[in-house]
Amino acid sequence: MAYRWWFGASLWFAASAAAASHEFVIPLAQGKLSIRQVNAPIAQELHLPNPPGGGELSLADPAATDFLGAMNACLWRGCSMALRGDTAVLRLTELAPESLCRRASRMTRIIAAEEYPAATAAQARRWGLALPGRVEPNRPLVVLIHGLDADRNDCVPMGELLRQLGWQVAYFSYPGDQPIDDSAALLARSMRDLRERFPQMRVDFVAHSMGGLIARDYVEGLEYAGGVDRLIMIAPPNHGSSWAHLRSALSVQKNFDLRRDDADWRWSWLITEGMGEAGSDLLPGSEFLAELNARPRRAGVNYTIVAGNRSAVARVEADWIESLGSCVPAFARTWWGLRYCYRGLHDGAERMRTAAADTDGVVLVENVTIDGVKDFVILPADHRSLFLPEGGQAPAALPVVIDRLRR
């Protein structure tokens, strides 16, 4: 019966047969497929300086066929891969009509979950609300929510810093590629259970990137259970991000790493986590964003939005320019001519790092704001360093988070 979920995938190929596509041929090295080379064309389409991730998949491994099949089903909304002789062919395809994609992908996810219940149950243990070992109902609970293609581990550094300062911290995680509405529904179920156990406890949300949309979808939706005092959104793509298509590369890389590191991993995880619907929800002008932004802000909830105006791409380019300057030997940096060359490269790299931009590298500053939220803070940081430690420094948004939680 395992063939049934392939039927759902076939709906996509039938629907997109006439769609425009681009093919990229990837050579195999001794029967191994480089995951970095799979990610490279996607990064190229997004004008990224470097493809994310790495690793190799040995096609001599019998499980490799299952991995590639699951990857095709997972990425069928815009990507597919086939083996042709001693090469792999990656096809990036324009998206089919959204309604058809939604119906077919949901059906495929449901069938895969039913066909492999043990694997689905093991995967589901990674999701939901993780409470501290001892909950004190009379103290506020800070719930941290990660972004697209991240997980609970991405929240731990911020959570540990808050815990050391005296807050009790919980973590909410969810299937990163499923529709945002589905993730908000999972959050709603978790919060209803929490309210039943601790009806008087105050809750504060601190959410990064797409996690902010999930929190908003819950707080401003019909299933809101009450009790939320603060909603702090860090770099939320409230009006979308054109980088949403990057989730194809991120999803492949994440599952490749899970396959290597997690004994519970099964290839069906690529499908049951979602099939790219979240990426479509994040595109500017999506139906999801139009509906969400048409809602009023929830009365009684204090909103804060934190944005960044430094580009991670500019930081990478600055590092590259500075590395050119390092080619000048230290003893020669005072010589005439070389002195000006070295100083020019060094100063140019520094200007690139410190120059304000209209984006955090992933989300435009103008796409972060929403009507009705006056507490809006812009920080000199990129999308990642706003929420995660970088270069030995605490998350850039941490001081704002602490200040708002103390109010």
How much is the mean pLDDT over the chain? 81
pLDDT number for residue 258: 72
Judge whether 407 and 401 are in contact, CB under 8 Å: no
Q: Kindly give, in sequence order, each residue whose CB lies less than 8 Å from that of residue 120, ignoring residues fewer than 6 positions away.
A: 112, 113, 268, 272
pLDDT number for residue 318: 58
The predicted model gives 113-120 an average pLDDT of: 82
> 1 versus 310: which is more confidently predicted?
310
Judge whether 358 and 366 are in contact, CB under 8 Å: yes
Tens digits of residue pLDDT in 174-209: 998 889 999 999 999 999 999 999 999 999 999 999
Beta strands in 153-290 (DSSP E): 168-173, 203-208, 228-234
DSSP H/E element including 258: helix 247-261
pLDDT number for residue 160: 97
pLDDT number for residue 17: 43
CA distance 22 to 262: 33
pLDDT number for residue 149: 79
Please tell me what DSSP assigns to residue 299: T
Alpha-carbon 218 to chain mean position: 18
CA triple 35-48-81, angle to 5 deg:
35
pLDDT number for residue 97: 46
Short-list 395, 313, 319, CA closest to 361: 313
Would you call 173 helix, strand, or coil by DSSP? strand
Confidence bin at 21 (pLDDT 50/70/90): low
> 237 versus 93: which is more confidently predicted?
237
Q: Which of 127-136, 260-269, 295-304, 335-344 has the lowest mean pLDDT?
A: 335-344
Would you call 23 helix, strand, or coil by DSSP? strand
Confidence bin at 6 (pLDDT 50/70/90): very low
Judge whether 283 and 244 are in contact, CB under 8 Å: yes
Give helix 4-15 / helix 98-115 axis angle, nearest 10°.
170
In the block, residue with structure tokens 């955090």: 360
pLDDT number for residue 104: 63
> 4 versus 195: which is more confidently predicted?
195
The predicted model gives 387-405 an average pLDDT of: 94
Tens digits of residue pLDDT in 38-48: 777 766 665 55
pLDDT at 122 over 70: yes
The predicted model gives 149-153 an average pLDDT of: 87
The predicted model gives 344-355 an average pLDDT of: 63
pLDDT number for residue 212: 98
Tens digits of residue pLDDT in 59-103: 777 766 666 766 665 554 456 777 777 888 877 765 444 555 666
The predicted model gives 128-135 an average pLDDT of: 95
- Residue 232 one-letter amino acid: I
> 168 versus 271: which is more confidently predicted?
168
- Sort strands 302-308 and 79-84 into parallel, antiparallel or unpaired: unpaired
Tens digits of residue pLDDT in 262-318: 777 777 777 778 777 888 899 899 999 999 999 999 999 999 999 999 876 566 555
Residue 97, Cβ neighbours under 10 Å: how many? 9
- Sort strands 302-308 and 228-234 into parallel, antiparallel or unpaired: parallel
Residue 20, Cβ neighbours under 10 Å: how many? 8
pLDDT number for residue 10: 41
pLDDT number for residue 135: 95
